[in-house]
Amino acid sequence: MQRLAIITKKHKPDAWEAGRALQAWLKERGLEAVHLENEPEPQIPPLPPGIEFIIVMGGDGTLLSVARHFGQKGIPILGVNVGGLGFLTEISLNELYPSMEKVLAASYEVEERLMLTATLFRDGAPIWREHILNDAVINKGALARIAELTTWIDAEYLTTYRADGLIIATPTGSTAYTLSAGGPIVYPTLRHIILLPICSHTLSNRPLILPETAIVAVTLDEKGQDLYLTLDGQVGQALQPGDRVEICCAPHHLKLVRSPHRSYFEILRTKLGWGELGGRRMGE
């Protein structure tokens, strides 16, 4: 490994200073590190050629942006949280340099996280396509009436949801908006797609767990107005009557470097405030 990229959240001085310090630390070890600021959407800086490893310094939102733009390159990404612990940015600033020592020694593990591709069709033609790590959300404006979303799985009619909206999420996204909407927590390396109506008016509508091979299509009737498609909570498009949104597994997975300091379940306990067992092992 000779060339790395450090991507820091723009307008966050702590992240910028930490990135500059890491850049100097890597230079002392004979490595080239390119330091980039994560601009607001859609002005994401291009990734220079020859990058073999990416360090993201900021929060989960910064990593989501980097994943959408660079996940298809297959470059391992290490998330460093400048602030509180994140679900994606698992490394704290205090753990940065011990973690980087393991990276330079090639003593680290990479998780492959499922990503989705969302495509918006209008008048039968694709007009917008993005890769996403967490979720695609179709929901209504604040004053809009209940959305009617006709949903198909692999071209087979499923149902017409009458709800405030619909979430199509990855296992990684199961601890984001999906969790707030009452969805299940899915282990992040599983290969499933989560389908979850938001405040459905049909109480029997429950979350669905689909295989990664599924293609989810959602169509709007001619009365569908004031609806929006939002991806990873960061970018979106206003929808029009007759639009169709298709969600499927992306052709690539995100390579996310695992924290050497804590497990996924420890992160769950910390972030969700679950009761601790004092670190005891089973049977003790």
For residue 273, name the pLDDT band (cuts at 50, 70, 90).
confident
Is residue 279 one of the residues assigned to a domain?
A: no
Out of 14, 60, 123, 164, the active site residue is 60
Same domain, 102 and 214: no
CA Rg value for the chain: 20
Cβ neighbours of residue 92 closer than 8 Å, sequence gap 6 or more: 80, 81, 85
Q: Are 55 and 6 in contact (CB under 8 A)?
A: yes
Residue 82 domain-assigned (yes or no): yes
194 in the same domain as 168: yes
Residues 54 and 171 in one domain: no
CATH number of residue 10's parent domain: 3.40.50.10330
243 is catalytic: no
Residues 65 and 134 grouped into a single domain: no
277, part of any domain: no
On whether both 243 and 135 belong to a single domain, the answer is yes
Among all chains, which residue has been given the structure tokens 């049977």? 283
Whether 283 maps to a domain, the answer reads no
Query: Domain check: are 84 and 206 in the same one?
Result: no
Alpha-helix runs per DSSP H in the chain: 13-28, 60-70, 96-104, 177-180, 264-272
H or E segment and range at residue 235? strand 235-239
Q: What is the mean pLDDT of the chain?
A: 91
Same domain, 138 and 187: yes
Give the three-state DSSP class for 175: helix
**Residue 282: pLDDT band with limits 50, 70, 90:** low
Same domain membership, residue 226 and residue 165: yes
Q: What is the DSSP letter of 261?
A: S
What is the pTM assigned to this prediction? 0.91
Tokens 């910064």 found at = 62
Same domain flag for 119 and 101: no
User: 3-state DSSP call for residue 155?
Assistant: coil
Give residue-wise pLDDT tens across range 174-227.
999 999 999 999 999 999 999 999 998 888 889 999 999 999 999 998 776 789
In a domain, 89, yes or no: yes
Domain for residue 48, yes or no?
yes
**Are residues 11 and 46 part of one domain?**
yes
Judge whether residue 263 has pLDDT over 60.
yes
User: Is 284 inside any structural domain?
Assistant: no
Q: Tokens 């198909």 appear where?
A: 152
User: Which of 114, 104, 138 has the alpha carbon at shortest distance from 260?
Assistant: 104
- Separation between Cα atoms, residue 57 and residue 71, nearest integer Å: 16
Question: Does residue 278 lie within any of the structural domains?
Answer: no
The number of distinct structural domains making up the chain is: 2
Q: Are residues 169 and 49 in the same domain?
A: no
Residue 226: CB partners within 8 Å, gap ≥ 6? 140, 141, 143, 144
Domain that holds residue 186: 115-251
Are 247 and 264 in a shared domain?
A: no
CATH of the domain at 225: 2.60.200.30
Q: State yes or no: pLDDT of 131 exceeds 90.
A: yes
